[in-house]
A and B are shown apart, each in its own frame.
Chain A
């Protein structure tokens, strides 16, 4: 996962007793991290009791569906990758086939085929885990779209391509008669799409999964 971290070993310039003494006086001593072994996979931390009294946010299913839609925009055949990842993570119960994934996504009330069902917390956890993992893979692309330091023409071209593809997917799957969807399709500033990309960029990896999960729940 962290293949870009390059550990380097250096010989200390000072004698060890001096370092330890000076660190103690400068308040740099780190205490033992107790939670280190409890954090095993994405989103499952020892802070799970935080969510005990929390309710699932009303826009959770909508948000998750749109995030997967953005992932599909950035990567062709993203659904296959999602299902493969689910298999690798041992989430086959919820993702045994495309139909199961489609049924989960149909909890989004803005879809043409809305099923009037709500996502369970287990389903949300597994979707968050997959989205975080996919976002990590697609991070270079997401970053390119969010960056303001690159040339305007190149950025504009990328955004035109991205927004047109995302809009075509929205037209294909969402209920275009709803005013919200109509406003998304007519919005040239792509503010909502940018928000989705920001969410994806901040949802990368294990910590990102925790962050995304927290945003899908409401405290009482």
Chain B
């Protein structure tokens, strides 16, 4: 049987998948229906390998993170069994990978925006590639509710104008209250004067 290998290259990321056609499912000779192995190479980090379940977890977490990032939301996403975690790390993004093998330390990869988009593009290409007849366990892109966006949008992006205007209003009001007023001020009756003029 022919072992097929396809590679997706995107500048800093390279994803290579190997597998065979699932003949029982009617796959053509150049279609991978059964995945045997995958290798992800991100520049500056050791190659990542695993089973389909691990790739599913990686895809799910990265694609969800990118989906939220495009809406201006930066929050942590954790896969099932804590295998893959991605979280904001300053201006960059921290990808944490826990090995299922015992005694292997978790791998930490810091990605900048360009590397994140490279990785996302690699996974996007795989997801929509007609040469793979594999069902990926990933959630489709869905719109967020307004409430979700407001609750999760980063604090720096919150519009603080209302808060600042409230503080300014209170400050000015306090100053105006503290300014002493002349309580002995007498209001002159001008009616008598006008009567005198008439006389």
How many A residues touch B, CB cutoff 8 Å? 64
Residues of B within 8 A of A33 (CB): 132-136
Nearest Cβ on chain B to A219's Cβ, whole angstroms? 4
Residues of A within 8 A of B35 (CB): 28, 30
CB–CB A218/B146 < 8 A = yes
Q: A2 within 8 Å of B by Cβ?
A: yes
CB–CB A147/B114 < 8 A = yes
Bound Cα distance A195, B70 (Å) = 8
CB–CB A143/B118 < 8 A = yes
CB–CB B145/A28 < 8 A = no
Nearest Cβ on chain B to A146's Cβ, whole angstroms? 4
CB–CB B1/A207 < 8 A = no
Nearest Cβ on chain A to B16's Cβ, whole angstroms? 9
Given contacts A28-B52, A203-B70, contact A19 B7 (CB under 8 A): no
Residues of A within 8 A of B71 (CB): 214-215
Bound Cα distance A121, B180 (Å) = 61
Q: B94 within 8 Å of A by Cβ?
A: no
CB–CB B52/A50 < 8 A = no
CB–CB A50/B140 < 8 A = yes
CB–CB B32/A198 < 8 A = no
Name B123's closest neighbour in chain A (CB-CB). A207
Q: Which of A1-44 contact B (CB under 8 A)?
A: 2, 4-13, 16, 19-20, 23, 26-34, 36, 39
CB–CB B51/A26 < 8 A = yes
CB–CB B124/A208 < 8 A = yes
Nearest Cβ on chain B to A149's Cβ, whole angstroms? 7
Q: A134 within 8 Å of B by Cβ?
A: no
- The 8 Å CB contact of A10, one of B3, B69, B135, B136, is B3
Name B141's closest neighbour in chain A (CB-CB). A214
* Interchain residue pairs with CB less than 8 A apart (7): A9-B3, A20-B34, A30-B134, A32-B22, A197-B113, A201-B114, A211-B66
Q: A-B pairs with the 10 shortest C-beta distances?
A: A30-B134, A207-B124, A217-B143, A16-B1, A201-B117, A214-B141, A12-B3, A147-B114, A146-B114, A146-B113
Residues of chain B having any CB pair with chain A under 8 Å: 1-9, 11, 18-20, 22, 25, 30, 32-36, 51-53, 63, 66-67, 69-72, 91-92, 112-115, 117-118, 120-121, 124-125, 127-136, 140-146, 148-149
